[in-house]
Structure 1
Amino acid sequence: MKNTFRCLAAALPLLLAACVPAPAVRMKGDAGLLGEQAARERVLAGTDHWSLQGKLGVSDGKDGGSGTLQWTQDGERYEFTMRSPVIGKSFRLSGGPEGALLEGLDGGPLRGPDAESLMYKALGWEVPLRDLRAWVLGLRADSGPAELSFGANRLPSLLQQDGWNVDYREWDAARQPPVPTKVFADKPPYRVRLSIESWTFN
């Protein structure tokens, strides 16, 4: 099953090259910046019904994959569909508190206790989906202590949490509160690159 998606790695360098960032401004959070972030988090913490569309690249330093992504969050339930432009195939990850279901791979549907372990078992991808649900909104996850640095726009530039460095390179500042449009997460050797083309909030 892993071989099915290893051919996605051919497209990964193109996606990662398109996402190479310029040097970022990093400011440690003072009382004002942290207060503004806390206000953002209070507004967005209850936002459990949303969807995004974009491009996702994942690498473990050797193998990886990339493709278009549609992610829908409906409370505790989620649906995560990724399509490869290289091989024209897609897989769908869905679930909630009762467990996760992965469909579209060779060998038939797979079930597991949670999305993270199922993705790792099936594809060898370490994607922190539980934390990413918060990080993708520019929020600190509830998985433990977090350290924030801010950019010139007074929005998070770097979030360090649970062993991951979450790098925010672009934001949609037209929305209030603003939401990220480029989120790069690294925990060597693992890399996740998410470029968000559209947000929909319900």
Structure 2
Amino acid sequence: MLRFPLLLTLLLAACSTLPEAPAQLRPVQSELVPFAFNGRVATRHNGERTSAGVRWTHRGVEDEILLLAPFGQTAARIFSNEQGVLLEASGKEYFEQDAETLTERVLGWHLPLSGMRYWVLALPAAGTAADIERSDNGQIKVLRQDGWEINYTRYATEMPDSLPLRMHMSRDGMEMQLLIDEWEI
């Protein structure tokens, strides 16, 4: 009699679905596909260093970037769409037509959001020239575009269209390190 419940349990367990594996490869036409990732970001500008957790969600023309304090509280929120860019931090709201102008005004350095939505996928941004160095397996190793140099130091797999997990960006004394812990595509 004990065998029947055990057998039933084993059969039900065998029929259950496995959890989805984390995204590792860029989908075809990546710039058109929504994405989200969780990770960490560190910046250095004029000798000042900052770090935070980051949650970036991209859907069509909208981007939402949450900068998170050590215990997961939202320290700042950047929301971008066709109307402009909103930055919320410390109970205040700031608005401009583009992220570069907004972050330059509020933070003292500019966040290249229009390019980064491509660069985080290891793609050159549309509309401007890019200089690309590739590794032996075809992955982008260094991308230079719009005055920024982006070094990709780690990917999810060795495949040429793998998603990046670690990148270092620099321009005019501004440095940004992005570590991606989890992709959702």
TM-score by length of 2: 0.78
- What's the counterpart of residue 129 of structure 1? 113
**Mean CA deviation greater in 42-51 or 65-74:** 42-51
Distance 1:197 1:187, change over 3 A: same
Give the letter for the 1:193 counterpart. Q
CA distance in 2, matches of 1:99, 1:90: 20
Larger Cα-atom Rg: 2
CA distance in 2, matches of 1:116, 1:193: 18
- Given candidates 62, 67, 70, the residue that maps to 1:85 is 70
CA distance in 2, matches of 1:157, 1:187: 17
Quote the offset at 1:88 in angstroms: 6.0
- What's the counterpart of residue 199 of structure 1? 183
Alpha-carbon RMSD across the aligned residues, in angstroms, is 2.5
What is the CA deviation profile of residues 12-63 of structure 1, one whole-angstrom value per residue up to 9, with x for unaligned ones? xxxxxxxxxxxxxxxxxxxxxxxxxxxx999234433110110011222322
- What's the counterpart of residue 82 of structure 2? 97
Aligned pairs, number? 161
Give the letter for the 1:82 counterpart. L
Give the letter for the 1:148 counterpart. I
- What's the counterpart of residue 142 of structure 2? 158
Give the letter for the 2:62 counterpart. R
- What's the counterpart of residue 40 of structure 2? 55
Residue 151 of structure 2 corresponds to residue 187 of structure 1: no
CA distance in 1, matches of 2:68, 2:138: 34
CA distance in 1, matches of 2:145, 2:95: 28
Distance 1:61 1:86, change over 3 A: farther
Residue aligned with 2:39, SS: strand
Q: Is the CA contact (8 Å cut-off) linking 1:59 and 1:125 kept in structure 2?
A: no
Quote the offset at 1:122 in angstroms: 1.2
Structure with the higher helix share, 1 or 2:
1
Q: Is the CA contact (8 Å cut-off) linking 2:137 and 2:158 kept in structure 1?
A: no
CA distance in 2, matches of 1:141, 1:104: 28
CA distance in 2, matches of 1:112, 1:175: 39
Residue 35 of structure 2 corresponds to residue 69 of structure 1: no
CA distance in 2, matches of 1:124, 1:87: 25
- What's the counterpart of residue 3 of structure 2? none
- What's the counterpart of residue 155 of structure 2? 171
Structure 2 unmatched runs, 5+: 1-24
Residue aligned with 2:32, SS: coil
Structure 1 unmatched runs, 5+: 1-39
Distance 1:42 1:161, change over 3 A: farther
Distance 1:64 1:143, change over 3 A: farther
Quote the offset at 1:89 in angstroms: 5.7
- Aligned-residue identity in percent: 25
